[in-house]
């Protein structure tokens, strides 16, 4: 197991930097980078006086680069903007500098937020972790009992009706449920029971401890509900199919033949084996909600977490934040995948990944 873990850890390095390189190359082809945005802001603030000497649609070439909308701007000013954002160097050199810094976990400074990327990530991470953790825990509390009930009542009316709800949950993404919940319960068209934005109220510091707890969960109710509804279907079906697979095995038939009660057979013999995939999948389920499912939900509910920050960074072409969060997300995703594999061995010691290598 130690050799397998070391091999997986070593494979993380080329995988991580390979993903960074591919995304860097894609970014180079994307229009509207930070230099163009800075020029557009200058033109927007002083467009009437800066368009001398350039007609509509004119381009200014500085250092071999062409920028639309840079009519009449001083070439020295554009060169300074390029230097400020690091675009005064060719792309291969910028890539090499980035990889060297990222190898030391130095993600640089945000272009527009006047703070280091590491500081921004540490500030926003608690919100995303809170959202992902509560959503994952509640999803498991819903999915596991529901999956077991569906497995023990397979083919019944209960199984059919709950399958309809699962199909809806599987087909409709979490952000659509978030919009629906806002329309229904956050002052959209019907009720105004829950807050529309933020994780706490403006007077949070003035509240008592019970008041702070209630205010916190009051703000979490809709986003967590949206994430749970949008993600519980897969886990429920996984639980059901795991239990159905175990219920049909010979050792279960033998236990029933010995006169054991159905409840004792289910929870004394089937439960541990059937829960192998479900328990081992917890890290992956958490990281899936943490990094992907909560992004648009954070945007919709204005929750100041990593998802909202990443979205705003991509819109504003804040490349240090984009690549810094990509690096962190990818690294954690790869580590969680390894943790998920190792969890299998903790749940069932009979699994040996080393033997599969031979």
- For 317-351, the pLDDT digits (tens) are 888 898 988 898 888 888 887 887 777 777 666 66
The pTM for the full model equals 0.74
Residue 175 · residue 166 · CB < 8 Å:
no
In the predicted model, is pLDDT for residue 130 greater than 80?
A: yes
Residue 319 lies in a domain: yes
- Asked whether residue 91 falls in the same domain as residue 208, the answer is no
Range(s) of the domain holding residue 260: 117-356
Average pLDDT taken over every residue of the chain:
80
Is the same domain home to 341 and 271? yes
- Could you tell me if 206 and 81 lie in one domain? no
Tokens found for residue 201: 């109220």
pLDDT digits (tens, 9 = 90+) for 282-291: 776 777 676 6
Q: How far apart are the first and last CA of the chain?
A: 13
The torsion region of residue 90 among left (phi > 0), alpha (psi -120 to 50) and beta comes to beta
User: Is 200 in the same domain as 322?
Assistant: yes
- Residues with Cβ within 8 Å of residue 104, at least 6 apart in sequence: none
Per-residue confidence band for 214, with pLDDT thresholds at 50, 70 and 90:
very high
Q: Which of 282, 278, 330 is nearest to 132 (CA)?
A: 282
| Rounded Cα–Cα distance for residues 176 and 195 (Å) | 18
Quick: pLDDT tens for 229-277: 888 888 898 889 888 888 888 888 888 888 888 888 888 878 877 877 7
Distance CA 83, CA 35 (A): 10
Kindly report, residue by residue over 5-45, the tens digit of the pLDDT: 888 889 898 998 899 899 888 887 777 777 777 777 776 64
Q: Which of 37, 136, 118, 167 is nearest to 309 (CA)?
A: 118
Residue 20 domain-assigned? no
Chosen domain end from 103, 135, 163: 103
C-alpha–C-alpha distance, residues 54 and 206, integer Å: 57
Q: How does pLDDT run across 171-207, given as a tens digit for each residue?
A: 888 888 888 999 998 877 788 888 888 888 888 888 8
- Are 350 and 212 part of one and the same domain? yes
- The CA distance from 334 to 15, in Å, is 9
Q: What does the pLDDT read at residue 355?
A: 57
- Domain with residue 321: its CATH number is 1.10.3720.10
Q: How many domains does the chain have?
A: 2
Give the span between the Cα atoms of 358 and 356, in whole angstroms: 5
pLDDT at 87: 79
Q: Does the residue 181 lie in any domain?
A: yes
Q: How far is CA 238 from CA 57, 64, 270, in A?
A: 57, 56, 15
CA gap 313, 179 in Å, rounded = 23
**pLDDT bracket for residue 222 (50, 70, 90):** very high
Ramachandran angles phi, psi of 59, nearest 5°: -125, 150
């Amino acid at each position: 197991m130690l050799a397998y873990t070391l091999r997986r850890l070593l494979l993380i390095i080329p995988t991580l930097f390979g993903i960074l390189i591919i995304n860097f190359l894609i970014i180079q082809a994307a229009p509207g980078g930070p230099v163009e945005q800075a020029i557009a802001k200058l033109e927007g603030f002083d467009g009437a006086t800066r368009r001398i000497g350039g007609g509509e649609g004119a381009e200014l070439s500085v250092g071999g680069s062409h920028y639309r909308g840079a009519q009449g701007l001083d070439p020295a000013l554009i060169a300074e903007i390029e230097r400020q954002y690091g675009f005064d160097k060719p792309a291969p050199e910028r890539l090499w500098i980035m990889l060297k810094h990222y190898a030391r976990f130095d993600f640089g400074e945000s272009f527009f937020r006047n703070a280091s990327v590491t500081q921004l990530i540490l500030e926003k991470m608690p919100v995303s972790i809170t959202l992902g953790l509560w959503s994952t825990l509640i999803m498991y509390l819903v999915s596991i009992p529901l999956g077991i009930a569906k497995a023990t009542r397979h083919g019944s009316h209960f199984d059919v009706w709950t399958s309809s709800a699962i199909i809806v949950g599987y087909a409709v993404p979490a952000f659509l449920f978030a919009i629906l919940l806002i329309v229904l319960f956050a002052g959209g068209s019907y009720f105004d029971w829950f807050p529309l934005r933020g994780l706490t109220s403006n007077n949070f510091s003035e509240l008592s401890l019970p008041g702070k707890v209630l205010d916190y969960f009051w703000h979490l109710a809709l986003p967590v509900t949206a994430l749970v509804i949008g993600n519980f279907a897969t886990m429920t079906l996984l639980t059901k199919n795991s239990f159905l697979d175990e219920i049909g095995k010979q050792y279960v038939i033998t236990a029933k033949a010995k006169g054991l009660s159905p409840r004792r057979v289910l929870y004394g013999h089937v439960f541990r084996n059937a829960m192998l995939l479900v328990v081992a999948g917890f890290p992956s389920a958490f990281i899936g909600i943490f990094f992907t499912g909560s992004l648009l939900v954070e945007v919709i509910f204005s929750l100041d977490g990593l998802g909202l920050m990443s979205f705003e960074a991509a819109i504003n072409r804040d490349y240090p934040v984009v690549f810094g969060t990509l690096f962190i997300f990818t690294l954690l995703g790869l580590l969680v995948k390894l943790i998920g594999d190792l969890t299998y061995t903790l749940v069932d010691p009979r699994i040996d990944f080393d033997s599969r290598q031979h």
